[in-house]
Amino acid sequence: MKKTFIPDERPHFAGLSGQNPEKIFGGVKTPCYIIDEGMLRKNGKIMADLARRTGCKVLLAQKAFSNYDLYPLISEYCAGTEASGLYEARLGAEEMPGREVHVFCGAYRDDEFESLLKYADRIVFNSPRQLEKFGKMAKDAGKSVGIRINPQLSTQEGHEIYDPCAPGSRLGTTRDQWNEKMTGKLISLLDGLHFHTLCEQDSDDLEKTLKAVEKRFGDVLSKMKWLNFGGGHHITRPGYDIARLERCIKYAQDKWGVQVYLEPGEAWALNGGYLASRVLDVLKNGDKNIAILDASAACHMPDVLEMPYRPPLYGGGEAGENAYTFRLGGPTCLAGDVIGDYSFPEPLEEGDMLLFGDMAIYTTCKNNTFNGMPLPEILLLKENGDIESLVSFGYEDFKCRLGGK
C-alpha cells in the first residue's frame, strides 16, 4: 500500500528483507506474478544438501512449479523432474536436459504412450491393469518401471481432496488389490515402488507412512531397486524436521537396499514468489468494508477457493487485528471470488498496492482466463534486485484456447 506498508518479517516475504513493496515493485503493471530468484536458490541449496548428506535423489514435481525459465537454476540442485503426463514429461526433458524424467499418471492413453517413451526414464503405473497393459512396452524401451502403492494410512486433516489414502481412493494399489491382481510375471517387470500420501506436511507424517508401507509391502521392497517417497514434503519450510526425514531415508536404504527418491513440488518454490495487485474500488455493504482488486482468486490464485486457504498478505493482519478490516475480492462476476478478510492500520484507497506471498506455487501453472481475465505477466526478481519480464500475455492468449480462427 502507498501509505501503510510496515516491515513484514514473515517467512512468506523473507526475500524482501522487510523492504517496502511499493518501493520495489511500484513500477510494474498489476496484476503480476513475481518469482524471487534468491529464494529459489535458497530452497535449492537445502534440497542439494539433503541429497548430498543422504544419497537420496530429489526431483522437481512440475505440477506445483513449471516456470521453465528457472529450470537452469533449479537443475543445479535437483536430480530431475516428475511429470503427470506427456506434456510435463516433454517439458522436463527439453528444459532440463541431462536430468532424469519420472512420470506418474492415474491412467495412460494408448495414443500417447509411445510418445511418452521418448521422454520418460522412469514410468510409474497406478494399477496392476495399467502395468499389464503398458509395462512390457516400457521395459522393452529400456525404461525403469514402477507401480504406485497405497499404504492406506491417512495423515491429513481438513483437506480430504488431497488425501490419496481416503477410503475408495483411485490412487495407488492397495495390498488387497496387489494380492488379487499382481502375478509373478507382472512383479518381474518392476524396478521400484512409489507412494505419495502427504500434502504440505512434516516428516513425522512421513515416518508414520513409512511404517505402514513396511507393514503392507515390506516383503516386496526387498526385491526392488528404488523407492519413491512421493511429494508433499515441506522440506524448505522453517521448522521442518529434516533430521527425521534423513532418518527415514537412511532406514529405507539400510532395510531394503533401495535408491530413495523424493519428488516435492511446493518445497522448491516455497515462499519464492509474490502476486502484486492494486485496489480498483472501495465500497461498503452494511458494516463490511470491501476492496475490489485487479487480481482474482478464481483466476489467478485458484487454490484459495479449491483448497481453500487464506494467502499471506504483506502488512495485512487477521480480521479485526488492525483498525480497518476489508474483504478483498476480485473483479469477476463470480460472487465467491473472494480472497479473504484482512485488516490494516489505515483504510485502503483506490490505487493502493497489495502484495500476496507464496505465489510461485500452484498459480502460474493453474491460472485461467475465466470472464476473459488477462493472464498476469510473470516477472523475475533477480538476486541483484533487478526485475526482468519472463513472459507477458494478451488477448490472443485468451482467444487461442477457444477456437482456431
* pLDDT tens-digit readout, 137-171: 999 999 999 999 999 999 987 677 889 999 999 99
pLDDT, position 154: 94
Predicted confidence (pLDDT) per residue in 322-372, tens digit: 999 999 999 999 999 999 999 999 999 999 999 999 999 999 999 999 999
Torsion of CA 21, 26, 27, 29, to 10 degrees: 90
Q: Of all helices (H) and strands (E), which one includes residue 283?
A: strand 273-285
Look at phi and psi of residue 247 and say left if phi exceeds 0, alpha if psi is from -120 to 50, else beta. alpha
Residue 3 has pLDDT above 60, yes or no: no
Nearest CA to 391 among 401, 380, 400, 382?
380
d(CA 247, CA 235): 14
Q: Classify residue 351 by burial, with Cβ atoms within 10 Å: 0-12, 13-18, 19+.
A: exposed
Contact 368, 302 (CB under 8 A): yes
Going by C-beta distance under 8 Å and a sequence separation of 6 or more, which residues neighbour residue 386? none
What pLDDT is attached to residue 159?
72
Any idea which residue has 496392476 for its cell?
Answer: 128
Q: What is the pLDDT of residue 1?
A: 45
pTM attached to this predicted model: 0.95
* Beta-bridge partners for 259: 226
Dump pLDDT digits (tens) for 272-323: 999 999 999 999 999 999 999 999 999 999 999 998 889 999 999 999 999 9
Torsion (CA) 18, 21, 22, 26 in degrees, nearest 10: 140
Among 314, 404, 305, smallest CA distance to 363 is for 305
Given pLDDT bands bounded at 50, 70 and 90, which one contains residue 2?
A: low
DSSP 320-376: TTSSEEEEEE-SSS-TT-EEEEEEESS---TT-EEEEES-SSSSTTT---GGGPPPP
Pairing of strands 377-381, 32-36: parallel
Length of the chain in terms of residues written: 405
**Residue ranges of domains in the chain, CATH in brackets:** 11-30+272-399 (2.40.37.10), 38-269 (3.20.20.10)
Distance separating alpha carbons of residues 54 and 39, to the nearest angstrom = 23
Closest by CA to 231, choosing from 352, 351, 63, 398, is 63
pLDDT digits (tens, 9 = 90+) for 22-53: 999 999 999 999 999 999 999 999 999 999 99
Nearest to 105 by CA among 166, 177, 119, 96: 119
pLDDT value of position 158:
67
Report in angstroms the alpha-carbon separations of 3 from 247, 353, 366. 49, 10, 32
The interaxial angle of helices 203-221 and 242-256, nearest 10 deg, is 0
Given a cut of 50, is residue 92 above it in pLDDT? yes
- In 63-206, the DSSP E strands lie at 80-83, 100-104, 122-125, 144-148, 192-194
